[in-house]
Amino acid sequence: MCTYLTDRITVRGSAKGPTGWIPVTNASVYFDHPVDLPVGHAMTIDFLNPERGPGARVAVELDATSARALAASILATLDAVPADLLEGDRLG
């Protein structure tokens, strides 16, 4: 069964693809059938820059347990960073 659960956000970052580093401006997060991971459903995170065409994309597929562990690790790491290091880190 397809979930079609998708969230799209604006981001500011860089991702390394097969041709080197590219700026990323958008991310899509969705839970659905994976393309490569051998599980029924997976959390997929696509980082992309639509202005640079379809080749400016990096995707990651994670099983649900790994996705939750990654989300928890990201939040724990950001919570441990001194607040003054995060100042000015918001999108324009």
| Residues whose CB is less than 8 angstroms from the CB of residue 36 and which lie 6 or more positions away in sequence, other chains included | 61
What DSSP designation does 90 have? S
* 49-91 tens-digit pLDDT: 999 998 899 999 999 999 999 999 999 999 999 988 887 666 5
- φ/ψ of 78, rounded to 5, equals -65, -35
Rounded CA-CA distance 89/92 in Å is 9
Segment 19-27 mean pLDDT: 94
- Which pLDDT belongs to residue 90? 61
Could you count the other beta carbons within 10 Å of the beta carbon of residue 71?
13
Report the predicted TM-score, pTM, of the whole model to 2 decimal places. Answer: 0.83
Q: Rg of the Cα trace of the chain?
A: 15
Segment 20-35 mean pLDDT: 95
